[in-house]
Structure 1
Amino acid sequence: MSRFWQFIRNQASGTTPENIELRIEGNIVDSEDAWLYEWFGIPAASPNAFRIELAQYAGKDITLWVDSYGGSVFAATGMYIALIEHKQTGAKITGKVGSKAMSAGTIPLMACDEILMSLVAIMMVHNPLSSIQGYASDMRKAADVLDIIKDTIINAYANKTGKPRDVISAMMDDETYMSANVAVKEGFADGVLYQENGKPENIMNFAYNRITIQNSANESIRHLFALVDSSVIPVKNSKEEEFIVDLAELKEKYPDIYNSAINEGTLVVVKAERERIKAFDVLNGKVDADFLANAKYVEGATAENVLFKAMQEGKIINAAYVTSAEADAETANAVPGDASDDAKPDEVTGILNKVTAIAKRTLGIQEGGK
């Protein structure tokens, strides 16, 4: 399986003891869903495989790096418990965030003895969310389940921060984004990486895509509803109502309906993956071929993310194109963002605007949509 966690053993040297580095950088998925990600080569991490591998390092100190938009709440809490159990073997866990720890991606961090964030890192906490269809009773039950899930997440946050539960709940309601210093102030982190002279970092404008940073209770919550009466499927084409209680019975009694549902779900996933692959075509001749192939087929990255990374690592081979795109992007600096403390664009904001404009031009993204 193409996983986005990795254990790295750093051997002892001199006075430095052996240390295990653990990186979690992909979608966090439930174990029962892992086969689908494996089938399509999508990077992901599941708690069962994670727990098995973690057991090999019992008693060893771990530095945990997290760079994740999140994923399944239940899978993330499974990892959280596995890390708590690892500390019972006498190990210390130090958490570090270089870029982002959002949504369910924050939960494994809460098991750490110490959490450090880089100057440019973002941490985000919000309420779990899901989608469901059915009767009014189903909607009410879904809301009750989400409240319970939120309460369990608050347990982890409160245990780490020491903050009152109602304060944490309000932060989740507000979908709170925290810079490194703000996270330290709020108790979600203990220190700031690479900060010179203790100076606080500047808060820059930024945008986010809600679709990419959901707490994915969407998928996991369906397992809870398999245990309640609302999950039965009424079939009304006979004299007496017939109730299908699980997928196995549906497959046995109505194989055509079962196969149709499975095939439709597979087609949706296949279509999404084909669109991701097709998006890379516009980068041919502009990005180093080997770099592009690795991102496309091995890492499972998106074309837009690859373009950003290619510019960062010097993998752009059409320099004239980039120069031309940069010239076209100059006007981006004049476009105001959200209000900041001094309302003046600085050098970093200008660079980000240029890179965004280059990405949009390269991938054919127009303002207001694709």
Structure 2
Amino acid sequence: MKNKKFWNWTSHKVTDQEGNESVERVLSLNGTIAEESWYDDDVTPALFRDELDSGEGDITVWINSPGGDCIAAAQIFNMLSEYKGKVTVKVDGIAASAASVIAMAGDKVYMSPVSMMMIHNPATIAFGDHAEMQKAIDMLEQVKESIINAYAQKTGQSRAKLSHLMDAETWMDANKAVELGFADEILTRNVSDEEHPSVSMMFSRKAVDNALMNKVSAKFEKEHKPVAQQAKIPVQETDTGRSVAEITERLSIIKNFI
């Protein structure tokens, strides 16, 4: 085999709520996704597919990887997407770069409360003149578009927003990953309801607005009496010191001089 294996298969029995037993297959992806590219490697991808197809039933994929070769990630994504059984992805450490692409193949994606996910633009190393540099740029743009396909399919986010998140090299904790659609749920411990009672909360903006207006209205009515109950304020007569006749006479005199 050309590449060092970065995956491992295990299996164990599980019992459902009805008491039925079944064998769960577990795929663990740890470390760098392919230390050498799968671009011209036919042996390693074939081995991965053979091991994937060697069993049947649902599988759980545990991911703890900083990323790696995008070609290998794309092939693994396709193989998991085409698998006939249900694929559940669980990120227990980090799913960064190419590893985040593989995570998108899960029918359900779970994040550990302390795990992280990171997405960014693909990168490469190029050598040569400006024509070779342009080829590398064009290739990276196409690779980015293919990666966005996987993200858009899972998250439902627009391609423009996903492109912006990749440009910024976005790191997401479990809550943010769920919020943006990269994950479905956060992994929790199995505890009984007696130990941790379930609390349900619902936020309604209309209910909050109505409650606030009722409080303001009650406070206003308490502090301010209705107009009908307000005491009448007598009009105070102002003594100008001159009668109307005197003022009229003075105006007539002034008019004669105009």
State whether residues 38 and 69 of structure 2, in contact with CA within 8 Å, keep that contact through their aligned partners in structure 1: no
2:92 equivalent in structure 1: 98
1:78-97 equivalence runs, <5 A: 78-86=75-83, 89=84, 91-97=85-91
* Letter of the structure 2 residue corresponding to residue 81 of structure 1: N
Separation in 1 of the partners of 2:41 and 2:153?
A: 29
Partner of 2:31: 26
Instruction: Letter of the 2:73 partner, please give it.
Output: A
Aligned position for 1:56: 54
Q: Within 5 Å, which residues of 2 pair with 1:28-177? A: 28-29=33-34, 30-31=37-38, 46-58=44-56, 60-86=57-83, 89=84, 91-177=85-171
Letter in structure 2 aligned against 1:22: L
Structure with greater helix percent: 1
Q: Distance in 1 between matches of 2:55 and 2:14?
A: 14
How far the C-alpha of 1:4 sits from its partner, in A, is: 2.4
**CA displacement, residues 84-136 of structure 1 (integer Å, 9 cap, x when unaligned):** 111xx2x1111000110000011111110000011110000000011111101
Matched to 2:26, the amino acid is: E
Contact 1:31 1:48 (8 Å CA) reproduced: no
1:15 maps to 2:17:
no
Instruction: Return the offset for 1:34.
Output: 7.0
TM-score of the aligned structures, taking structure 2 as reference length = 0.67
Distance 1:12 1:121, change over 3 A: closer
Instruction: Classify the secondary structure of the residue corresponding to 2:22.
Output: coil
Report the secondary structure of 1:177's partner residue: strand
Q: Structure 1's 130 and 31: CA in aligned 2 closer, same or farther, altered over 3 A?
A: closer
Aligned-partner SS, 2:53: helix
Q: Distance in 1 between the 2:21 and 2:181 partners?
A: 29
Is the contact between residue 87 and residue 108 of structure 2 (CA under 8 Å) also seen in structure 1?
Answer: yes
Q: Gaps spanning 5+ residues in structure 2: where? A: 190-195, 200-258
Question: 3-state SS of the aligned residue for 1:18?
Answer: strand
Q: How many residues align?
A: 185
Asked if the contact 1:26/1:68 (under 8 Å) is kept, the reply is: yes
Letter in structure 2 aligned against 1:166: A
2:54 counterpart SS class = helix
Conservation of the 8 A alpha-carbon contact between 2:38 and 2:71: no
Pairwise CA distance, 1:3? 2.1
In 2, are the aligned partners of 1:28 and 1:46 still within 8 Å (CA)?
no
Greater strand content: 2
Name the SS of the counterpart of 1:133 in structure 2. coil
In the superposition, the TM-score normalised over structure 1's length comes to 0.47
Instruction: State the 1:151 CA deviation.
Output: 0.1
| 1:232-243 equivalent positions in 2, closer than 5 A | none
CA distance in 2, matches of 1:46, 1:108: 16
Contact 1:3–1:26 under 8 Å retained in 2: no
RMSD: 2.2
| Residue aligned with 2:104, SS | helix
Secondary structure in structure 2 of the residue aligned to 1:76:
helix
The one-letter code sitting in structure 2 at the alignment partner of 1:23 is S
Pick closer, same or farther for the CA change 1:12–1:182 going to 2, 3 Å: closer
CA contact (8 A) 2:39 2:71 kept: no
Q: 1:20 aligns to what SS in structure 2?
A: strand
- In 2, the alpha carbon distance for the partners of 1:115 and 1:166 equals 23
Match of 1:194 among 188, 191, 199: 188
After superposing on structure 2, the runs of 4+ consecutive aligned residues of structure 1 that deviate more than 4 Å are 32-35, 195-198
Match of 1:231 in 2: none
For 1:163, the aligned partner's letter is Q
Q: Which amino acid aligns with 1:25?
A: N
Structure having the higher Rg: 2
Structure 1 residue 17 displacement after superposition: 2.7
CA distance in 2, matches of 1:61, 1:4: 21
For residues 161-201 of structure 1, what are the alpha-carbon distances to aligned partners after superposition, in whole Å with 9 as ceiling and x for unaligned?
01111010000000000000000000000011127879xxx
Residue identity (%): 40
| Matched residue, 1:368 | none
Q: What is the CA–CA distance in structure 2 between the aligned matches of 1:46 and 1:151, rounded to whole Å?
A: 25
